[in-house]
Structure 1
Amino acid sequence: MRGTSRTLRAAALASTTVALLAVAAGPAMAVPAPLPIANGNFATPSVTNGPQSYLTNAIPNWNITTETYSNQMCQRTDGLQCMDLNSGSPQVASQQLINVKKGDAVVITFETSPNTWSGCGVQQLAAGQPFSVGATGTPTQQYRANGVTTTQTASWSTQTYSFTATQNAPTLSFISQDNGAGGSAACGPLIANVTATDDPTPNVNTVPIANPTLAGGTLAAALGAGYLVYRRRKAGIAA
């Protein structure tokens, strides 16, 4: 009888443990994955290095014709080039995110700096050059490059833009809002090193164990279920 009782208790404990593990684990969560941004490092076109070296051209994979600055003109230590968001006037640089699906949670990370061109105006740079970032069907967010008080001076900062896609393959846009006041309309904020992550299941959550009412109630239910199985089996009652 003792052996049978131990077996029944072990079975009840196993049932309870399985139930508790299922509660603790909750639904599986997806890990945000890198999202490809074509030419997000602005390596193409390749620009010969120089303190004021740039090319005015269509930038591959981006719907914009503007200046690509050499690494030296961008004043970056990582070897990357950068893009001017103005080319005679404020411009829009856009790219379709073909791998994004409706409902995905996307985080865009990028770097921005005041323009390092010698033709920019000090007043224009000191104010912090404005621009916005947006995606199709979602609100835009406002940004400013760091303000500086001398020309040809970079000041890079890392920024993020987050959105939940309202459609498949939305278009990401960087929109200059610098009209050249206090300087030149050919001088816009600089953008570099655009990367992204994509979470296809942003609304999946684990059970909030921090909630004592939910956690306690679920635990009590699981323990009660295990004990009931044990009692029924001990009494010889079919489950």
Structure 2
Amino acid sequence: MRGPLLVVPFAVSLALAAPVFAAPVFATPLFAAPGEQPVPVLNGDFVEPAMKGDGPTTVGIDNWTGANQRYSATASGRSDGSNAVGLQKDGNTLQQRLRGVRAGARVTVSYEDSPAVSKECLPAEVADGQPYTVEASGGAVQAVTTAGDPGRVKGTPGSGRWAQRTYSFTASENEPLLTFTSKVANSKTHITCSPMVARIRAVEVPPAVDQTVDRTSLGTSEAFKGNDKEKWLHNALAACNGENACEFRPDARTSFRYYGQSRVIGEAFVNCTRNTLEHSRVLSFAERSHDSIAQTYTDAGQSLEEVARLPTSGDRTEDEKRVKSRPMATQFALAYEKAWKRPWQWFSSDQRTVVERIQPGEVSWVELQPTRERVEGWFVSKKDDYRVHAVVDGPSRAVPDRLLQRTGPMSVAEKQRCSAARPMTMTPVGAEAPAWSADKGVTGPAAPTAAGVRRIG
């Protein structure tokens, strides 16, 4: 249970309240994103799995999609220890999704290329360089030709003519797909005589975080397996159905805390009297969490998977059960606490006694401005590289809520209500006659005096 910040000037107006809201720190990301930062290119030196010999070998390369020829650093003429990959012939690709990159990011990929070092190459096939393309989700297809390697002799391996290259694009989707494609079209060219790439790296300038997105519309969650985008979330969520099946990896760059929009809690008290009124009342208020996975299923008109039912239903009893029984809830909470050094809370509630002093002709009410926190990241399967993107928005422990105790002038409608006559009825008999009796000194009900009336009691 967290204590709210109680702002209690008795004549609060927007102008008077301005200093309270002046500090903008809670409307900014928890960690300000730098201008340019590295993007993890997995196995960018092509060292996994470990090579036996110098190659070329056709083997699946860890974290990459595509059947390509791999050469050791020695065989490819490199001194930095990074292996190289030949792209094979026309249409063959080498692909990887860039993990953690968000749609709208400006990404620059750097790498090196060389004509083939294969001893199977004819001199004419490498003399003027070899063609390929590089592209990524949201970027143009960039045609490239490697440096030439004149003077080669068939049967003698080349030593590599390595050149630095860059490719820039703006991502049109989350985790954009980077693709290298061979354009060696001569059917007579040996499969090993193809352009080569090595030492792939990337940096990005992340997009600005849109903090205006409402917590009830957190966006569509999506799932991937390796470099393939899943059509639906089902399989990826099922992979997380176990205490340690997945880990949640929060992205501090896009996570932030903020004050939510103010709302009135309790009633508005209108003082229609000529005197100052003073009284106390008890205020109760509560906050719940929201998540993008549940919203994605709702938007699609589908029933939410049991494993993905995080404690975000808004039903306190149900959410308390989910905290204890849902592995993904535990995975998220553990990752959050590890990253921010405080526990996550899925829901909160509190109660406060407020004393009000209301001047004649004024109205008194109390507003709540809750502090909340939005965490974005990925549930990642430890076994088979399933990844589910998720955004969770919940009450924050980082800073207190704001309770604003306010008074102000009555509205036109309230003034009309205060000037209205009180409920009345007519006196059909004796409206102008003096009062007929005084109940003076009577300690109990007066006995009936009319003849024939039976006394009760």
Q: What TM-score results when the alignment is normalised by the length of structure 1?
A: 0.67
Question: For each residue in 1:173-223, what CA deviation from the matched residue of structure 2 results, as whole angstroms up to 9, or x when unmatched?
Answer: 001111246742431101100000011148xxxxxxxxxxxxxxxxxxxxx
1:97-136 equivalence runs, <5 A:
97-136=98-137
Tell me which amino acid in the other structure corresponds to 1:144: T
1:193 aligns with 2:169: no
Tell me which amino acid in the other structure corresponds to 2:124: Q
- Residue 167 (structure 1) aligns with: 173
Identity of aligned residues (%): 30
- Residue 411 (structure 2) aligns with: none
CA distance in 2, matches of 1:154, 1:96: 27
Q: Which of 56, 59, 64 is residue 57 of structure 1 equivalent to?
A: 59
1:153 CA drift (Å): 3.2
- Residue 237 (structure 1) aligns with: none
Secondary structure of 1:194's counterpart equals strand
Question: For each residue in 1:17-47, what CA deviation from the matched residue of structure 2 results, as whole angstroms up to 9, or x when unmatched?
Answer: xxxxxxxxxxx98321010001111011322
Question: Which has the higher Rg, Structure 1 or Structure 2?
Answer: 2
1:98 CA drift (Å): 2.7
Answer 1 or 2: which has greater strand percent.
2
- Residue 78 (structure 2) aligns with: 76
- Residue 44 (structure 1) aligns with: 48
Q: 1:126 to 1:146 in 2, by over 3 A?
A: same
Matched-pair contact (CA < 8 Å) for 1:48–1:70:
no
CA distance in 2, matches of 1:184, 1:90: 15
1:54 CA drift (Å): 2.6
**Which blocks of at least 5 consecutive residues in structure 1 are unaligned?**
1-27, 203-239
Question: For each residue in 1:122-177, what CA deviation from the matched residue of structure 2 results, as whole angstroms up to 9, or x when unmatched?
Answer: 11101210011101232111111111111523100000000011121110000111
Tell me which amino acid in the other structure corresponds to 1:191: V
Secondary structure of 1:188's counterpart equals coil
Q: 1:154 to 1:181 in 2, by over 3 A?
A: farther
Matched-pair contact (CA < 8 Å) for 1:49–1:71:
no
Tell me which amino acid in the other structure corresponds to 2:169: F
Q: Greater CA deviation, 110-119 or 28-37?
A: 28-37
How many residue pairs get aligned? The number is: 173
1:65 CA drift (Å): 1.3
Matched-pair contact (CA < 8 Å) for 2:83–2:198:
yes
Secondary structure of 1:102's counterpart equals coil
1:89 CA drift (Å): 5.3
Q: 1:29 to 1:40 in 2, by over 3 A?
A: closer
CA distance in 1, matches of 2:142, 2:46: 22
Matched-pair contact (CA < 8 Å) for 2:116–2:192:
no
CA distance in 2, matches of 1:123, 1:184: 13
1:121 CA drift (Å): 1.5
1:90 CA drift (Å): 4.3
Matched-pair contact (CA < 8 Å) for 1:180–1:186:
no
- Residue 145 (structure 2) aligns with: 144
Matched-pair contact (CA < 8 Å) for 2:85–2:197:
yes
The answer to which structure, 1 or 2, has the higher relative contact order (CA under 8 A, 6+ apart) is: 1
Answer 1 or 2: which has greater helix percent.
1
Secondary structure of 1:71's counterpart equals coil
Matched-pair contact (CA < 8 Å) for 1:123–1:183:
no
Q: 1:118 to 1:101 in 2, by over 3 A?
A: same
Tell me which amino acid in the other structure corresponds to 1:147: G
Secondary structure of 2:197's counterpart equals strand
CA distance in 2, matches of 1:171, 1:93: 10
Tell me which amino acid in the other structure corresponds to 2:112: E
CA distance in 2, matches of 1:45, 1:55: 12
Matched-pair contact (CA < 8 Å) for 1:115–1:188:
yes
Secondary structure of 1:123's counterpart equals helix
Q: 1:57 to 1:172 in 2, by over 3 A?
A: same
Secondary structure of 2:80's counterpart equals coil
